[in-house]
Amino acid sequence: MTKTITGFSKLSKSEKIDWLVSTYFTDSKSAKTLLKQYWNANEKLQQLHDEFIENTITNYYLPLGVAPNFLINNKLYTIPMAIEESSVVAAASKAAKFWYDRGGFKAEVISTQKIGQVHFMYHGDVAKLNQFFTTLKPKLIEDSKSITKNMEKRGGGILDIELKNKTQDIEGYYQLHATFETLDAMGANFINSCLEQFAKTLKNQAQCFDLFSAEEKDIEIIMSILSNYVPDCLVRAKVSCKVEELTENPNISAQEFAEKFVQAVRIAEVEPFRAVTHNKGIMNGIDAVVLATGNDFRAVEAGVHAYASRHGKYSSLTHAKIEDGIFTFWIEIPLALGTVGGLTKLHPLVRLALELLGEPSAKELMQIVAVAGLAQNFAALRSLTTTGIQEGHMKMHLMNILNQFEATSEEKVKLVEYFKTNTVTHSAVVEEIEKLRH
């Protein structure tokens, strides 16, 4: 049985590794060598990475690829994507080229409001609390001035604060529900700082409110935290063309393809089991760009999936229609992103990714990310409704299988050539490797 360790965080990186490899690995020398292989030779750069999180022992690499030829609002982009899944970058690139020849993608930011809440308990007269809030609201804003002044200079800040009665859900439960504009910053630290100040002001002012009884003055703050559900931080992206321009596949007519495509989207709108996989494909594109640009893909995922369930049933994030001979495919999605602060200034590859995109504002990045998700979904649905998803995916996955079996360069050349005209399956690849080797 492995023993616990005291003071692990205080050990040096080398001491942490020595303890790990001697405690958990049968071949401690090989494990230690592997961990050190992923250190950056540049000591300053490695130290930077070590300080991103706690208890670092090495770096975990993901491929950083690019998808070129994205025409968005008549501006051409090459989009950086950090992802390990085969065929995602290829599919995005193919969709980008397809729509480049048909006018490109159109995108617009609908709104950029972000949300934070102070959750508290109050057991007293609701009318008194409402009256108290009337006097409290300006004080909440005034007491936060030292936090908001710089954001306000740039045109952002606190947009509104509401008192919400949630006692139908939990007895005595109320919220200060605040909306914010954080401009090019994702704004988590700014919002949370404001909320914690709101909580202090709420607690202090309640003690001074004459209409409250002693019990009513004893407001209990539960927590103060931003929400990653941002239904009013929305971006829309779309593509459209004449139906007859829609297909490059000689085995299916443009009209038939358009109708099958629309039906595939409708199925994802009404069938949650399909919608989850449908939306996962969208997030392949979105997460890859969010990660490459140093944003929080976990927050984006959580908010997006909540949005997909906003009508009480999990549903598709994309929609499609055929109207007057025009095919239209679009996505509307909540994205709280930033291009300043956090990793955007610290991680060298994030800086490079943002420069590659032309140093976008947060609004522009929202549009780019939404387009990446739409492109990914278009590519997936085009495959699903024509050739099937596995043909293209498995050909991209071929190299992973070859690497798994440590194929030589010569073997890779022969096998890639063979599978240009043969179906790729794991067993088929293994069989051909064995034939080559025997």
The structure tokens 């001697």 sit at 22
The angle, 0 to 180 degrees and rounded to 10, between the axes of the packed helices 88-100 and 272-292 is 90
Residue 33 CB: number of other CB atoms within 10 A?
A: 11
Query: How far is 381 from 399, CA to CA, in rounded Å?
Result: 24
Catalytic residue among 296, 363, 364, 397: 296
Task: For residue 389, list its beta bridge partners.
Answer: none
Catalytic residue among 32, 94, 217, 393: 393
Catalytic residue among 36, 123, 242, 280: 280
85 CB burial (10 A radius; 0-12, 13-18, 19+): middle
Query: How far is 152 from 146, CA to CA, in rounded Å?
Result: 10
DSSP state letters, 309-351: TTTSS---SEEEEEETTEEEEEEEEE----SBSTHHHH-HHHH
The answer to whether 320 touches 265, Cβ cutoff 8 Å, is: yes
Catalytic residue flag (residue 296)? yes
Task: For residue 108, list its beta bridge partners.
Answer: 236
The answer to whether 168 touches 321, Cβ cutoff 8 Å, is: no
Nearest to 85 by CA among 277, 285, 274, 278: 285
Catalytic residue flag (residue 414)? no
The answer to whether 83 touches 291, Cβ cutoff 8 Å, is: yes
Catalytic residue flag (residue 278)? no
- Which parts of 51-210 are beta strand (E)? 64-72, 75-82, 106-109, 114-121, 157-165, 173-181
Query: How far is 22 from 14, CA to CA, in rounded Å?
Result: 12
Catalytic residue among 13, 18, 50, 85: 85
DSSP state letters, 213-271: -HHHH--EEEEEEEES--TTSEEEEEEEEEGGGS---TTS-HHHHHHHHHHHHHHHHH-
Query: How far is 156 from 152, CA to CA, in rounded Å?
Result: 5
Query: How far is 371 from 330, CA to CA, in rounded Å?
Result: 9
Catalytic residue flag (residue 36)? no
**Helix, strand, coil tally for the chain in percent (to 5):** 50, 20, 30
φ/ψ (deg, to 5) at 78: -110, 120
Known catalytic residues are: 85, 280, 296, 393
